[in-house]
Amino acid sequence: MPALTDAELTVLGLLVEQPRHGYELERVVEERGVRSWTALGFSSIYYVLDKLAKRGLIEATGGPRSGKSRATLQTTQAGVELCADATREALSSITPTHARVLVAMANSPVLPDEEVRSGLTARVTALREQLAEVRATRARQEPLPDAAAAIFDYSEAMLTADLTWTENVLAKETSMEKYDVKKAHRALYAPSAKDFTVVEVPALQYLAADGHGDPNTSPEYSNAVEALYGIAYAVKFASKKTLGRDFVVGPLEGLWRAEDPAVFLTREKGKWDWTMLINQPDWVTEEMVREAAESVAKKKDNPALAGVRLRTLDEGTSVQILHVGSYDDETPTLHRLHDEYLPENGLTFNGDHHEIYLSDPRRTAPDKLKTVLRQPVKPLGTRSAPAEA
């Protein structure tokens, strides 16, 4: 005979206790707080009764009745025996807990820190309210038989454990300081959109992937970006778990170069060479990157994973500006930088053109995209210093 569901076993047990009609079952379920520890909805009792009746586990008594809802039901001998067997099995079985909040915590890095803390705070409030409701329901029925008291004890213990866990996670999320390159180096990631500004860029560490070709059509480019993000999040999780140090995955950045720099103004993208970057805290090591790459490779085959490396970029004095709009509309700004600002200030190139993509192009209209345009520079007539360590 098929096993009983939790809802079926609950209803069957209430009828073994004594014959009842549907309305009375509803009342007992409500009074005892049964819905807080089993999946038995308001509209499902009659559905469960029909299933039990079709299996010959319950039957109507011979007394008078008026309509289905007033039919008094009792268990058959088969129902009593199955209820006893199922109860023996349930007493010793350990049911795995798959709390949805665990899925949420696994995915929490995709949300801003404030939203994670807000969600956990709301969960604490909801758990406290539910625990108070269970205790109030219990108090209204005291004194309770031992079996009923045990059920309330379990409900309170589970809610208390969940509440303690959530409060601890919230405390860690609140106290653990996350490194965020945009905050640590605010001047580098929030320039003016009106005027060019000169900044001193310190040596910073990045995940880096090299390639060539049009970023809009090249599979090499899409593979590289996917590999960078996969490794960046794997490193973040490993850092938090093994080192107790967390960080915000930085925005995608790119270094762009070509044999003829004029192709950037003409937008001949097929002739572009690029190095895509994601900033990493200084405590991230090459070993952590390699372990992260191996972990990502087990989940998805991506030829770009093997080429991702840890790179230190030391750009030094640079000129930058915030561009708002489509990537293809950068030409006038780049023309002003190359042909006006740099000559007028006695400066020339001292490294690759650097772009920082502050907006997600999948969710942002082209005319709203925000991109930092940066150019390392040096005074005219001086020798260039190496940018990569």
Cβ atoms of 347 and 306 within 8 Å: the answer is: no
Neighbours of 110 (CB within 10 A): 10
Q: Is 252 in a helix, a strand, or coil?
A: strand
SS3 content of the chain, % helix, strand, coil (to 5): 50, 20, 30
Output the pLDDT for position 66: 47
Residue 311 near residue 208 (C-beta atoms within 8 A): yes
Which residues face 370 on adjacent strands?
324
Q: What 8-state DSSP symbol labels residue 341?
A: I
The kind and range of the H/E element at 82 are helix 77-92
Tokens of residue 96, six digits: 């795995």
Q: What is the pLDDT, as a whole number, of residue 322?
A: 97
As given in the structure block, the two tokens for residue 30 are 């409500």
Tokens of 319: 């000129």
Query: How many angstroms separate the CA atoms of 255 and 272, rounded?
Result: 10
Q: What does pTM read for this prediction?
A: 0.59
The domain ranges of the chain are 6-92, 100-175, 183-379
Q: Kindly list the distances between the CA atom of residue 105 and the CA atoms of 102, 225, 237, 303, 353, in Å, as whole numbers in the listed order.
A: 5, 24, 11, 29, 38
Token pair recorded at residue 121:
């705070």
* DSSP helix/strand/coil, 73: strand
pLDDT of 279-315, one tens digit each?
Answer: 999 999 999 999 999 999 999 999 999 999 999 999 9
Q: What is the pLDDT of residues 100-148, one digit of tens each?
A: 888 888 888 778 778 888 999 999 999 999 999 889 988 988 898 888 8
CATH architecture for residues 100-175: Up-down Bundle (1.20)
- 143 prior amide bond cis, ω within 30: yes
Three-state secondary structure call for residue 177 = coil
- Looking at domain 183-379, its CATH architecture is Alpha-Beta Barrel (3.20)
Q: How does strand 370-379 pair with strand 347-349?
A: antiparallel
Joined tokens for residue 190: 């929030």
Residue segments in the chain with a per-residue pLDDT below the cut of 70? 1, 36, 39, 41-43, 62-70, 176, 265, 383-389
- Which numeric CATH code is attached to 6-92? 1.10.10.10
- Measured at the CA of 246, the angle between CA 240 and CA 249, to 5 degrees, comes to 115
- Residue listed under structure tokens 């502050």: 358
DSSP-derived 3-state class of residue 32: coil
